[in-house]
Amino acid sequence: MLQAIKESNYQPNLLARQLRTARSNMILVMVSNIANPFCAEVVKGIEEEAEKNGYRILLCNSGSDLARSTSGLQLLSGKMVDGIITMNALSSLPELTTMIGDAPWVQCAEYADNGSISCVGINDVDAAQGAVSRLVDGGA
């Protein structure tokens, strides 16, 4: 049987596997502007780590548009993705957080200070205050 599979170049039906396991092994990555070099580098890193862990990414370039973000998030309710990584300020809007619901969610690069969202980034206000303090102190 294994020989027949090899000879026929059999490829498993990923949709059938998804129905059986209720997992897609896909992560939605929602960005506001993929043309931003910083954003592109972060997405590259996300994709590399996802692949190492058996996942693929589905990229949604929202353009900071609420309708496009909403459209991308519908993939969560359709179980087409297992989780979401957002890289835009829109993701903190109540309409979008309601759509995300209990799905695994990480906010990346834009600081989320409400405590209910896993966040990878820096607090820009604290960072700016620290930078100004350092300059005022003569750079020491």
CATH superfamily label, 24-136: Response regulator (3.40.50.2300)
pLDDT tens for 3-25 read: 766 677 766 555 555 555 567 89
The domain segmentation of the chain, as residue ranges, is 24-136
Mean pLDDT of all residues in 66-79: 79
What's the confidence (pLDDT) of residue 68? 84
Residue 50 pLDDT exceeds 90: yes
Confidence category of residue 48, pLDDT binned at 50, 70, 90? very high
Would you state the torsion angle of the CA atoms of residues 77, 82, 87, 89, taken in this order, to the nearest 10 degrees? 30
Integer Cα distance of 12 and 9 in angstroms: 10
Integer Cα distance of 86 and 110 in angstroms: 9
pTM (2 d.p.): 0.69
Contact 34, 59 (CB under 8 A): yes
